Amino acid sequence: MLNIPIDKNLKITSDAHNYIICVKTVIESGKNKGDERWTPKMFYPTLETCLEGLLNHKLRTESCQSLSELVVCVKKLKWLLGGILELNPQKQGENNE
């Protein structure tokens, strides 16, 4: 099973059927108050859709204030993922045209 840290608050895990994006959460009450745990949030059937979901999640949670900041953020995230989002050869052909 996968257990790949993305940053301090996100990681990708897997089970027999899904790729899962987990988010670190802090327990806010009870005897374990303040403890951190990983909560599964987003489930995907393929690695490609999981990475696309990760990119979209990161973009939605960034604090970009302009289009140029958004473009820089997209480029940074795509570089961070190392071009893995282009796993589908059909999509690669579309991008090269």
Tens-digit pLDDT string for the chain (97 aa): 899 888 899 999 999 999 999 999 999 988 889 899 999 999 999 998 998 899 888 888 888 899 999 889 888 887 777 655 454 444 444 444 4
Q: Which structural domain, as residue segments, surrounds residue 56?
A: 3-91
On whether residue 86 sits in a domain, the answer given is: yes
The whole-number pLDDT of residue 93 equals: 47
On whether residue 97 sits in a domain, the answer given is: no
Phi-psi region of 82 (alpha: psi -120 to 50; beta: other; left: phi over 0): left
For residues 53 and 84, the answer to whether their CB atoms sit within 8 Å is no
- pTM, full prediction: 0.72
* Structural domains of the chain, count: 1
